[in-house]
Each structure stands twice: as C-alpha cells, then as structure tokens.
C-alpha cells in the first residue's frame, strides 16, 4: 500500500512518497467540515453543494511538526510542496493509477491456481506510486540545504555504508511497478520523525535513480523487515494512523501511542492473510474482509465470495477504488438508479480515464448524492459521501469514483480522504475514524514510502 508524503531528509531537504509495502490517528480540519461521513442524510442521501465536489485553488490550512503528528499534503493542489499547484489532469492521475493496478494484479496473479505449479513468487517487485507528500529528517547533524535535493552521506556524522541488519545484504536491486529498475547500496543513519522520535541505525536504500516530480524518496509503511513500521517497532509497536487530506487541506500521520490515543471511537475490522501467505507479516499489503456494499441505504446483496478471492486490500497508493466486475456492475446500476433525475454527461472520456458513470451538474447549486457504505467484517461500516463518492474537475463531468477490476478489490485513497485510518498490526486489525477534526499547526510537512538511491551528487532516499 502506498502513499506519498513530503519528507525532509537532512542534511538535505527531501520530499518523500508514502508507501505501504507491508496508521495514523488524529483530529483534522478539512475546510471546516467533519472528516468522517458528514451528518447522516435522510434515507441515505446527502444534499451536497456542487462546488464542494470540485478542486480548490487555495490552501485552507497549514501545519507544523508537533504533537499533532507529521503533516501530509496531496501531491497536486494548492497545499502541495512539490510544485504541482494546479489540479491534475485525468492523464496525470488515471494513467499511473491504471499502471499501478495492473502491477498489483500481476503480483496476485502469481497465486492463481493455474500459476502456482513450478513457480517462485517474485517478491522483488515494488510499487512506487503515491499521491501524498510529507517531510522528515535523516542524518546528524541535520541541516536545511534546499539547493541539494539528494542525500549526501559525507555531511552526516552518523551515516554508515552497508546494512546494519545482519541478515540483509549490503546491496539491493528492485523492479518497480512502471517496469523501471533501481540498484544501489544500503546505508544506515539516524531517522527523526519528530524531536522525541529519534531512531539511530535506521536502514535505507541509496539508489542510482531519483523519483522525479519533486519527490526525493519513499517511506515504507508495510510489514517487511526493512519497512519504517518494522524498524520503529520497539517504540511504536507496529501501530500507525493517517488522515489523507483533500487538495486544499493538510492531513497527518501518527505512530504508536499518539495514533491509539483516541482509538476507542474507531470501528475496527480484522486483518486477514493474503493469498499465498501463512501470516500477516508475509503479505506486502493489508488485507481485510469486505462483505457487501450499500447505496442510499439499500444493500446490494453481493455475495461475499465475490470479494474473497484473491481478497480486498486497503491501498493508499491506488487513487480510484477497484471492485470485481460483478460488484462494480451492481454498484453502478444502483448509483445510476439513485441519480436518475440528473442528466448524464455527454463529454468524451479522455485518455486513461476509466470512469464511466458521469453527470452534467452545470448550473446546479446542490446535488442529492446517495451515500455509499462499505460493509467490512466485524461490523465496521465505512460511510462515503461527497468527494469520497464523486471525482471530477468540472461540473459538466462529475463521475462515480469507482471502477471495475478483474478479481482483486482495492480500496483506494479517494475513498479514504478525510477519514482516520489506524493500522494496529500486532493487534491484527484496521480501524476507521469518526467525526473528528484534525487541527494542524503552521509549518509542517511529511512523507511515506521511503526508498533511498545513490546519484552523482548524493542520493535520493528509499526506506
């Protein structure tokens, strides 16, 4: 699972992707609106201003490193620190999103019965995508050198070349979701998430290729041995939470006790083993049980077996939620019935645009949107409305923010925006948040999915 955040790597300033290859709890302001669900609508519908479904051009919040956790911004939008202040085009979002989904599907196709004979799973594939940014500190002394976007080992008094984990080799080679490759050396240095959260001998990869797009690395939040979650487990007990922001606001990432401090108000569902694994630690993704979906308070009564094989993952790197074709067809039909009084959009779908259920809401002040509920195991119902249901840059084409997939269910970040999501790996569960506001303070940034790579003048970072 992957999210990109901005991370400050010292001695240089670096922007990082936030990646789950293996949660964060807090309060959050999102344009002054409650971040979870919103108030209950009559009969499962919400009267929603059309303007609230469109991208914003002004950042409405600021954040600073502090007790509220590491601040997160979207890669695109007015709060972004990556230089992408304008709303992304469909090509910029949907092209990489399709590539990522194809990559994830290929990983799980390894475990299809017809592919298991005489087959060794490829565990060196790595999904590099992400849409959120954060900032963190690496090395000592940490200095802010904005003119240098690569990590310079010679400027750190605490850096050491090679692996500091005895069972890990000193070099690595990875193949990424876009078919690019990276090879380099492992290094160790001090990781600083917050002033009180300092981790000596933190291992990361220093590779030959940078990430482009103003991003300097990836911070891994998976369950593997080298992920940030595993390397900080002595203090944080493999617990973290996040609230992914809308483009005009700032979210947050929390670890350990800060993430669990208000967990009594969350709705939890159990983590389950992924295909081809015998334990949660072996899976590169977070699998849960999705049982059914409701639209406008009406259950679709989709057989749970539709979501069971190969399963359902929570993924912060995928943008649009993908459902098995049978489930998507049922959702699409129910949504169209609920939206029957609104005209369909006649605009042409642009390249890489997979959204096929779109409406022309031009000239309308409000729209009555059906609430969509994802029914997970253990009674965890996640209610979606507003931007968690609709995607679009123009009122003339606002679309249902779901798409079909072959078999795997992928809960994307569009459906997670402004929700608190908490990962309690040792407890074997994921929690979803209620109506809390995240109040962030000025001057903060953060990032997920860390991968560090070497270059002529230093190296972008992977960890």
Is 239 found in the same domain as 198?
Answer: no
Ramachandran assignment for 32, one of left (phi > 0), alpha (psi -120 to 50 degrees), beta (any other)? left
Is 343 found in the same domain as 281?
Answer: yes
- Predicted pLDDT at 63: 41
For the question of whether the overall pTM of this predicted structure is more than 0.85, the answer is no
Is 266 found in the same domain as 144?
Answer: no
| Interatomic CA distance for residues 203 and 461, integer angstroms | 11
Flag whether 7 is in a domain.
Answer: no
Flag whether 28 is in a domain.
Answer: no
Is 315 found in the same domain as 195?
Answer: no
Is 378 found in the same domain as 416?
Answer: yes
Closest CA relative to residue 255, chosen from 275, 237, 230, 231: 237
Is 278 found in the same domain as 308?
Answer: yes
Domain-ending residue, one of 154, 187, 218: 218
Domain-ending residue, one of 218, 249, 280: 218
- Predicted pLDDT at 366: 97
Separation in Å, CA 171 to CA 126, 151, 207, 282, 452: 16, 17, 9, 22, 12
- Predicted pLDDT at 43: 82
Separation in Å, CA 219 to CA 132, 152, 203, 275: 11, 18, 12, 25
The pairing of beta strand 372-376 with beta strand 381-384: antiparallel
pLDDT tens by residue, the chain, 463 residues: 433 333 323 233 344 445 444 322 222 333 333 333 333 455 899 999 999 999 988 887 554 333 467 888 888 888 876 667 777 777 788 888 888 898 889 888 765 544 444 444 444 444 444 577 777 677 666 544 344 456 778 888 889 998 888 888 888 877 655 555 667 889 999 988 888 889 999 998 887 655 545 556 777 888 888 889 999 999 999 999 999 988 888 888 999 999 998 677 899 999 998 887 766 665 678 999 999 999 999 999 999 999 998 999 999 889 999 999 999 999 999 999 999 999 999 866 666 678 999 999 999 999 999 999 999 999 999 999 999 999 999 999 999 999 999 899 999 999 999 899 999 999 999 999 853 433 333 333 333 332 222 223 344 444 5
Flag whether 61 is in a domain.
Answer: no
The pairing of beta strand 132-134 with beta strand 16-19: antiparallel
- Predicted pLDDT at 219: 78
Flag whether 163 is in a domain.
Answer: yes
Is 408 found in the same domain as 261?
Answer: yes
The pairing of beta strand 171-176 with beta strand 181-194: antiparallel
CATH code of residue 256: 2.40.70.10
Taking 3-state DSSP, the helix, strand and coil percentages for the chain, each rounded to the nearest 5, stand at: 15, 35, 50
Closest CA relative to residue 32, chosen from 238, 280, 246: 246
- Predicted pLDDT at 329: 97
Is 405 found in the same domain as 261?
Answer: yes
Is 247 found in the same domain as 204?
Answer: no
Flag whether 390 is in a domain.
Answer: yes
Is 338 found in the same domain as 430?
Answer: yes
| Interatomic CA distance for residues 432 and 383, integer angstroms | 10
* Element holding 298 (H helix, E strand): strand 298-299
Q: What is the DSSP letter of 341?
A: T
- Residues 115 and 301: beta-carbon distance below 8 Å: no
- Predicted pLDDT at 172: 81
- Helix ranges (H only) for 280-358 are 305-308, 325-338
Is 420 found in the same domain as 360?
Answer: yes
3-state DSSP assignment of residue 293: strand
Flag whether 15 is in a domain.
Answer: no
Flag whether 265 is in a domain.
Answer: yes
Flag whether 120 is in a domain.
Answer: no
**Enclosing domain of residue 296:** 42-56+68-83+90-105+129-134+235-437
Nearest-5° Cα angle at 440, 11 to 226: 45
Query: Which DSSP string do the residues of 177-228 spell out, in sequence order?
Result: TTS-EEEEEEEEEEEEEETTEEEEEEEEEEES----TT--EEEE-SSSTTSH
Domain count of the fold of the chain: 2
Is 248 found in the same domain as 206?
Answer: no
């Amino acid at each position: 699972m992957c999210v990109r955040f901005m991370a400050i790597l010292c001695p240089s300033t670096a922007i990082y992707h936030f990646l789950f290859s293996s949660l964060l709890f807090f309060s959050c302001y999102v344009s002054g609106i409650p971040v979870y669900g919103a108030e209950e609508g009559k009969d499962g519908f919400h009267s929603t201003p059309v303007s609230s479904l469109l991208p914003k051009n002004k950042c409405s919040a600021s954040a600073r490193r502090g007790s509220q956790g590491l601040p997160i911004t979207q890669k695109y939008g007015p709060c972004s620190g990556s230089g992408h202040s304008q709303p992304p085009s469909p090509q910029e979002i949907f092209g990489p999103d399709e590539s990522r989904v194809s990559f994830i599907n290929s990983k799980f196709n390894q475990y299809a019965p017809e592919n298991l004979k005489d087959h060794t799973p490829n565990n060196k594939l790595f999904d590099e995508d992400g849409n959120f940014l954060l900032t963190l500190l690496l090395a000592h002394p940490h200095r802010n050198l904005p003119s240098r976007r690569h990590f310079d080992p010679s400027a750190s008094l605490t850096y050491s070349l090679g692996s500091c984990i005895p069972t890990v080799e000193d070099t690595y080679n990875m193949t990424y979701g876009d078919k690019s490759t990276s090879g380099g050396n492992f290094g160790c240095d001090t990781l600083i998430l917050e002033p009180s959260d300092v981790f000596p001998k933190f291992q990361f990869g220093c590779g030959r290729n940078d990430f482009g797009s103003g991003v300097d690395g990836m911070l891994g939040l998976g369950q593997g041995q080298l992920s940030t979650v595993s390397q900080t487990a002595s203090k944080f007990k493999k617990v973290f939470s996040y609230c992914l922001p809308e483009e005009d606001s700032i979210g947050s990432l929390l670890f350990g006790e800060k993430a669990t401090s208000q967990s009594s108000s969350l709705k939890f569902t159990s983590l389950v083993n992924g295909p081809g694994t015998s334990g949660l630690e072996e899976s590169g993704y977070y699998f849960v049980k999705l049982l059914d979906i409701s639209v406008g308070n009406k259950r679709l009564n989709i057989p749970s077996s539709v979501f069971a094989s190969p399963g359902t993952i929570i993924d912060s790197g995928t943008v649009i939620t993908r459902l098995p074709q049978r489930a998507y067809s049922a959702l699409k039909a129910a949504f169209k019935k609920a939206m029957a009084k609104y005209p369909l959009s006649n605009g042409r779908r642009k390249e890489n645009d997979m959204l096929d259920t779109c409406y022309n809401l031009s000239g309308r002040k409000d729209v009555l949107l059906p609430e969509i509920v994802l029914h997970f195991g253990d009674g965890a119902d996640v209610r979606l409305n507003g931007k968690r249901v609709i995607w679009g840059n123009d009122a003339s084409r606002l679309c249902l923010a779901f798409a079909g997939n072959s078999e795997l269910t992928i809960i994307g970040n569009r459906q997670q925006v402004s929700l608190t999501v908490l990962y309690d790996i040792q407890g074997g569960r994921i929690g979803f948040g209620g109506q809390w506001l995240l109040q962030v303070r000025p001057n903060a940034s953060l990032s997920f999915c860390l991968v560090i790579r070497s270059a002529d003048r230093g190296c972008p970072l992977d960890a």
